[in-house]
Amino acid sequence: MRYCRVSVATLGVVGVVATPAAGAGKTIEVSPKTVHAGQTVRVHGFVPGCPSGNEVTLTSSVFSHAHDFAGLPAVFARVGAHGGYSVRTRIPAARRPGTYQIAGRCGGGNLGVVASFRVLRPVANTSSCGDVVVRFGRGASGGAHGIRATNVRCTTARTVKAS
């Protein structure tokens, strides 16, 4: 009688392939995959088995501490009718450049998947600088046309017309 050891090994491999991975079907995606500190990212994915209307809790040290879960910065997303979720959040401008991970929970359990993305240094100052004030001396014409402000380093300066 001959024994076939290959069959036993093959059955073992088939058993491993047929076993679903922990968290199968659950996803966390980040877009864009690379972002400058101070910009917004979209975190989205799919959580089969998490009932519609529940919240997905997404935690990462990259988020602001506006909301926390178990001491970690967190954002929350509502689960839709087919298990999808999506939320946008701004990465704090002071966040250090590096690679960060986002983990998730729903219904009291971990999703078992993480997403990674990269944060770069913030882009040049884009904060508002308010109005640009132009003053005329005593001898200047109050009805001048085509006045140009120079050396204004803000892109958000407003044009204010004199009455």
What confidence tens digit (pLDDT) does each residue in 5-59 have? 444 444 444 433 333 444 469 999 999 999 999 999 999 999 999 999 999 999 9
Which of residues 108 and 162 earns the better pLDDT score?
108
Phi, psi of 116 (to 5 degrees): -120, 145
Alpha carbon distances (Å) from 141 to 15, 65, 100, 135: 89, 53, 57, 11
102 burial (CB, 10 Å; 0-12 / 13-18 / 19+) is buried
More confident residue, 144 or 71: 71
Determine contact, residues 38/90, Cβ cutoff 8 Å. Answer: yes
More confident residue, 20 or 159: 159
Angle at 106 between CA 15 and CA 75, to 5 degrees: 130
Residue 30 contacts residue 115 (beta carbons within 8 Å): yes
pLDDT tier, 64 (very low <50, low <70, confident <90, very high otherwise): very high
Rounded to two decimals, the pTM is 0.63
Record the tokens describing residue 80, joined without a space.
């839709």
Select the highest-mean-pLDDT range: 10-19, 76-85, 126-135, 139-148: 76-85
Q: What CATH number has the domain spanning 23-120? A: 2.60.40.1930
How far is 124 from 74, CA to CA, in rounded Å? 27
Does residue 19 or residue 123 have the better pLDDT?
123
